[in-house]
A and B are shown apart, each in its own frame.
Chain A
Amino acid sequence: MTPLTHLVVAFGALLTTAGAETPRAAKPLIVVATTPDLAALAKAIGGNAVDVKALAKPTEDPHFVDAKPSHIVTLNRADVLIDGGAELELGWLPSLLESARNSKIAAGAPGRISVSQGIHLLDVPTSFDRAKGDVHAMGNPHFMLDPLNVRVIVTQIADRLTKVDPASAALYHANLKWFLGTLDQKLLAWQKELEPFRGAKIVTYHKDFVYLAERFKLEVVETLEPKPGISPSPAHLAQVISRMRSEKVRVILVQPFQSRKTAETVARQTDAVVLDVAQQPGALKNTATYFDLMDSIVHTLATALQEKR
């Protein structure tokens, strides 16, 4: 065959295939999530009816995502935007939305799901004073590690997806039912695994595990950052070390983007262990879904607390 015949045959085949594809599957809803944890929930609820993209990388600090032009394009084409809504994305999302000019995902539109609405936020400041560091005015935005918050959030996501895309309502509700059932079972298992360590004291880098601690009855006694968003200083670390020694705190949690070196320095002087944990699914191995992520965090914590008893 000549190249031209090739082309004609290929083109013909293309037309036939396109014609044969009836009834055509509905185009998936384009769902953009600011962070991978929200994206994982959207995938769980939306299934094949949605095409989900996360803006932040799982390994990077979600407070400081670059407002890259490619994100403008992603947001411009979105049918639904899921954001935390408690100022976690305050440093980068507003300028992206301004450039994206997409009224479907504007605040108040059905396509905009700000999940912190309906969540009881912790650490809500009683006064606004930046001498206390970069405290979020609405409260602590790292609320996804409390499974009961996730219960509220997935329900909200399913309701909104149904509103925006009623054709797939049955799928969203079936997925929600499955997710909530699994979550309830898992929560019992996680609570059981951590029950022996009720009241155990831990140290974290940032104030990003307070919801986990609250739900599973752990106590975050110190953070390596002296104040939210302020880099650890030698004076503050000395204070953390002395407190860890006197209260026998043996576990320090760090996320992939936080300074492991700082945590190791403290751990060496306190006979503690540094635990690599992540809040974003996909940042560490075998943590692609919310359940995998929580399994990993709970198991890592329980193992370390057992060993360091």
Chain B
Amino acid sequence: MAPMRASGAYMNVSFVGLTGFDWSTSKDVGALQVGDHEPHVRGFAIPNAELALDGTVDPYLKAFANVVYKLDSNGETGVELEEMFFLTTSLPGNLQVKGGQFFTEFGRQNVQHPHSWAFADQPLALNRMFGPEGLRSQGLRISWLLPTSFYTEATMAVLNSAGTTTYSFRSEESSAIHGGLPIERAVGGAGDMLYVPRVATSVDLTSTQTLLMGVSGAFGPNNSGSSARTQIFGTDLYWKWKSPTAHQGFPFVAFQSEALVRRYDAAARDGEANPSLTLPSESLRDRGVYAQLLWGIKPMLVAGVRADYANGDHARYPVLDAPEGVNRSRYSTNLTWFPSEYSKFRFQYNYDHRTGIGNDHSLLLQFEFLLGAHAAHKF
């Protein structure tokens, strides 16, 4: 019998729609979460709608594209080619090459799309280091699956270092980090590219428990000066227990944590607020960590708690008002219910403490639906 596909013979097509309703005691809701993710206004939001296409190109390649539509706080629609890449399927030596634009393999959550997140918002640590859009850019990534008895994978990405999606590097938004006017910095050589190495390893502790750990780095130029550089280091850990008699994947318990540090070498630069003032060169250190625990109570019901902390060694002359730079801790709890595999309701509460700004409470309600092909879950 000829195989038949529901979603087209040569390409999977899916559309994920995410809607939300948010409220916060903070009047400046948009400052709580950078970018278009929730919460960004008091009231209704459509933070994300994704059109995802994927398929096999030929016997050598697979390809994936993700087009994102998002509504800003004024209801204006923005369209973005979020990801578009090819992936080799049959290189020798356990190698695999990905090329195009993609979320870079740094840590655990950076590569995930919003509908795979366990919480309605992004961890603070990732926001601080990678900005609102996550770390992604145009380039190539090579991966090697090591011939060890347990899973070990080494990846190295070489990417363009400019743009909003390389926030800590040559980004127009980098003044939020160093308080100066970004300079025009052209690519002169290999040193002006962004390099993202990662090693991940995993073992099955028992037949029901799996541990996955990784270390990542991101190294590249920043545009505070003509030879200024940024280094980001991260470690991540994911542990999951799943019942041996799991039904629809439940019950389970999963723990996830990531810690990141950034060293941003800012050159002597003109102040953004007052260009006649020259800010001295300095090395800025930022740190962030989060830990979250999920409990899949029974089929289609998940409860979660998360603790977030980020601190900023902000530019010595904080000449601009950048709430994303302050010391901040946040505690979140949520409950997610999936009426089916293709829809979900999420209810989340955040308690926020920002040094110098105060304490805030936020409520986030999300509803999401999926049309078309259901992409396979990753671990």
Query: A residues within 8 Å of B by Cβ?
Result: 57, 59-61, 63-64, 66-70, 72-73, 76, 85, 90-96, 98-101, 103, 106-108, 117-121, 128, 130, 133-134, 137-138, 229-231, 256-259
Q: Would you list the 10 A-B pairs with minimal beta carbon distance, nearest first?
A: A137-B6, A69-B151, A69-B202, A103-B90, A64-B249, A95-B376, A94-B376, A257-B247, A257-B245, A67-B379
A276 to chain B, nearest CB (A): 11
The answer to whether A231 and B299 touch (CB under 8 A), given A66-B249, A138-B4, is: yes
The reply to whether B240 and A66 form a contact with Cβ atoms under 8 Å apart is yes
* Distance in angstroms between the alpha carbons of A133 and B300 in the assembled complex: 14
A229 & B91 in contact (Cβ 8 Å cutoff): no
Check B81 for interface membership: any CB of A closer than 8 A. Answer: no
Q: Which of A69, A85, A101, A103 contacts B212 (CB 8 A)?
A: A69
Contacts A66-B240, A103-B90, A106-B90 given; indicate if A76 touches B378 (C-beta within 8 A): no
A–B pairs, 14, beta carbons within 8 Å: A70-B151, A70-B210, A72-B145, A73-B145, A95-B375, A95-B377, A95-B378, A99-B153, A101-B145, A106-B89, A119-B1, A137-B6, A138-B3, A229-B341
Q: Which of chain A's residues have a CB closer than 8 A to the CB of B323?
A: none
Assuming A60-B242, A61-B246, A70-B151, what are 7 further A-B pairs, CB within 8 angstroms?
A63-B248, A76-B94, A99-B145, A119-B1, A130-B340, A138-B3, A231-B300
Q: A258, B247: Cβ atoms under 8 Å?
A: yes
Contact present for A91 and B245 (CB under 8 Å)? no
Give the docked Cα–Cα distance between A73 and B242 (Å).
20
Instruction: Compute how far the CA of A54 lies from the CA of B215 in the bound complex, rounded to whole angstroms.
Output: 30
User: Is B242 a contact of A98 with CB atoms below 8 Å?
Assistant: no
Residues on A with beta carbons closer than 8 Å to the beta carbon of B242: 60, 66
For A66, what are the chain B residues with a Cβ–Cβ distance below 8 Å? 210, 240, 242, 249, 377, 379
CA distance A108 to B145 in the complex (A): 23
CB distance from A84 to the nearest CB of B (A): 12
Taking CB atoms, residues of chain A closer than 8 Å to B148 are 73
List which B221-264 residues lie within 8 A (CB) of chain A: 240, 242-249
Chain A residues with CB under 8 A of B354: none
**Within the assembled complex, what's the spacing in Å between the Cα atoms of A69 and B245?**
20
Asked if B283 is at the interface of the complex by the 8 Å CB criterion, the answer is: no
B10: A residues at CB distance < 8 A? none
Chain A residue with Cβ nearest B202: A69
| Inter-subunit contact A98/B62 (CB<8 Å) | yes
Look across to chain A and name the residue whose beta carbon is closest to the beta carbon of B90.
A103
Q: Does any Cβ of A come within 8 Å of B14's Cβ?
A: no
**Residues on the B chain within 8 Å of A106, using CB:** 59, 89-90
Which residues of A lie under 8 Å from residue B1 when comparing CB positions? 117-121
Contact A60 B244 (CB under 8 A): yes
Q: Is B203 an interface residue (CB 8 A)?
A: yes
Partner of B151, one of A73, A92, A257, A258: A73
B379, A69: Cβ atoms closer than 8 Å: yes
Which of A61, A96, A101, A117 is within 8 Å of B249, CB to CB?
A61
Report the separation of the CA atoms of residues A72 and B56 in the bound assembly, to the nearest whole angstrom.
19
Does B87 lie within 8 Å of A98, measured CB to CB? yes
Which residue of the partner chain, among A59, A67, A85, A138, contacts B377 with CB atoms under 8 Å? A67
Residues A68 and B244 in contact, CB atoms below 8 Å apart: no
Q: Contact at B246–A91, with CB atoms within 8 Å? A: no
* Of B5, B374, B379, the contact of A91 (CB 8 Å cutoff): B374
CA of A114 to CA of B375 in the docked complex: distance in angstroms? 20
Measured CB to CB, the closest approach of chain A to B105, in angstroms, equals 11
Chain B residues, Cβ within 8 Å of A100: 145
**Would you give the shortest CB distance from B376 to chain A, in whole angstroms?**
4
In this complex, which of A72, A118, A128, A231 has the most chain B Cβ atoms within 10 angstroms of its Cβ?
A231
Instruction: Report the bound CA distance from A72 to B202 in whole Å.
Output: 10
Q: Which residues of B contact A138 (CB under 8 A)?
A: 3-4
Q: Which of B132-173 contact A (CB under 8 A)?
A: 145, 148-151, 153
